[in-house]
Amino acid sequence: MSNPTGNPWPEPTATLRGVRLHAGWLDRPAQEALVADLRAVIAAAPLFSPMTAWGRPMSVRMTSAGRFGWYSDRRGYRYVDRHPSGLPWPPIPESALAIWRALGGATREPECCLLNWYGPEARMGLHQDRDEADFAQPVLSVSLGDDGLFRIGGHNRGGPSDRVWLRSGDVLVMGGGARLLFHGIDRIAPGTSTLLPAPGRINLTLRVVT
């Protein structure tokens, strides 16, 4: 993994409402290596479309690696220790753990690496990440493939929000006072990246669950 600033300190390139953005943290070879590792994750734990509590499938397809995977159905959102196939989730790739260790500033190792796949029409509505037990641990998110329009708000759903385009190789860290901010993806811009063989975006989020 490269640090384009050449600076050993993980200083963000920008801060949005306390969310630390490391734009271009992964160079192209590091992005390709991570995608290769994610292919192995998807082969072991195929993507699926979680159901919302309202009984509609989410537009984003998902899978996970690690001790826990994120799951949703009519009973609600939760972490589970198995893929819907009944098999345990595959381990979190070392390439993803290395990003957490470099930028997370965390005292614990991640227990879930959620992989979100956005096709050209997919989006993710405003939400908080609050299914975890220890909010002192950050959430780290990695963008791969086409650009995604990230929306970041406050601690209430209705308040003002800002938007920023996340590009392939960008890493966001939501920690400290920014850990529970509302956020989502308004849309992606299909065809803006050549990393993936088809239009779309992958987002990884690394989290401590327990």
User: Cα dist. 98→70, 86, 105, 158, 200 in Å?
Assistant: 21, 28, 12, 36, 24
Cβ(98)–Cβ(171) below 8 Å: no
CA–CA dist 169, 27 (Å, integer):
6
CB atoms within 10 A of CB 195: 18
Query: Smallest distance from the beta carbon of 28 to Mn ion, in angstroms?
Result: 26
Site track for ligand SIN across 57-96, x = CB under 6 A:
----------------------------------------
Considering only 185, 195, 206, 209, the residue that binds ligand SIN (CB under 6 A) is 185
Q: What's the distance, Cα to Cα, between the start and end of the chain in Å?
A: 28
CB under 5 to 8 A by kind: which of ligand SIN, Mn ion, none does 124 bind? ligand SIN
205 belongs to the binding site for ligand SIN (CB under 6 A): yes
Binding mask 157-176 for ligand SIN (x = CB under 6 A): ---------x----------
CA 57, 87, 80: angle at the middle one, nearest 5? 55
Q: How many residues bind ligand SIN (CB under 6 A)?
A: 10
User: From residue 121 to residue 140, what is the string marking binding to ligand SIN with x (rule CB under 6 A)?
Assistant: ---x----------------
Q: Name which position in 31, 72, 116, 161 contacts ligand SIN (CB under 6 A).
A: 116
Cβ atoms within 10 Å of 75's Cβ, excluding its own: 9
Using CB under 5 A as the binding rule, whether residue 132 contacts Mn ion is answered as: no
From candidates 129, 132, 146, 170, binder to Mn ion by CB under 5 A? 129
CA separation, residue 136 to residues 114, 132, 210 (Å): 19, 10, 11
Residues found near ligand SIN in the complex (CB under 6 A): 116, 124, 141, 148, 150, 166, 183, 185, 203, 205
